[in-house]
Structure formats: structure tokens, C-alpha cells
Structure 1
Amino acid sequence: MELIINGEAVTIPDHIKTSAALLNFFQLEEKVVIVELNEAIVAKNAHQDTTLSAGDRIEIVHFVGGG
């Protein structure tokens, strides 16, 4: 399935169906992240139930510490 992630076309395996699975695929499930799906922020408790479709526009923002 092809998605637009952070402005770039990305092909992900077809078994990834939810935003939670997408975070797991990118190894971000343990990080504090904000997920936006088609210009709407997805609540953290909704990641398991938020399904993805081909062509969806996703923004993933995660925080990086440092100084």
C-alpha cells in the first residue's frame, strides 16, 4: 500500500492496516509521537482502531531530546 508519510510517497507492506501497526513498523511505538491522518490528529488511544487506506496522508512527529 502506498501512503504519503511526512510529505514523501512510501510503500508499506499490505499487512499494516492501522496507525498503531505503522508506528510499530517504523519502531516508534515506544516513543512519544503525534500522528496526523489526512489533516486530523489521531488520539493515542485510537491508534489501534484507526485504519489506513492507500493514498492517506500521514504526518508523524516525534520528540528528540538534546540541547
Structure 2
Amino acid sequence: MRTCDLDWTYVAPAGDFDHEGTRAGRYRIAEHGDPASRITYEDLAIALLDEIEAPRHLRAAVSVREA
């Protein structure tokens, strides 16, 4: 088995986007996606930037959903 020295994070959006929603400024990270959950584009962008600026989920796959 080959090991990898790269740090990575796989971030998936919630089950669907809230196309009409407005930015709430908050979100929740979950280990598993929930197909019934939703998130706005703006809140997903905030979650991605937060993870880039202060990584908290290295070498993990997480889902971002509404708070």
C-alpha cells in the first residue's frame, strides 16, 4: 500500500441547494450527507473559505448543510 503525504479535504454540499435562499452566515459540518438537507450557495462558499483559512478536517470527507 502506498502512502500519500498530501493533506486533503473533500467537501460536499448538502443534498440540494436552496436556490432562492439568502446568506445566513452559518452552516453545519456533518460526516455524512443528508439528501433532504439544503444550503445556499453563499453559505457553502463561506464554509469552503473557512476550511481553507483554518483547516479543521484534514484527510476527511465532510458534508456542509444549513445550520
Shorter-chain-normalised TM-score: which range?
A: under 0.3
TM-score of the pair, normalised by structure 1: 0.26
With the length of structure 2 as denominator, give the TM-score of the two structures: 0.26
Higher strand share: 1
Max Rg structure: 2
The one of the two structures with greater contact order (alpha-carbon pairs below 8 A, sep at least 6) is: 2
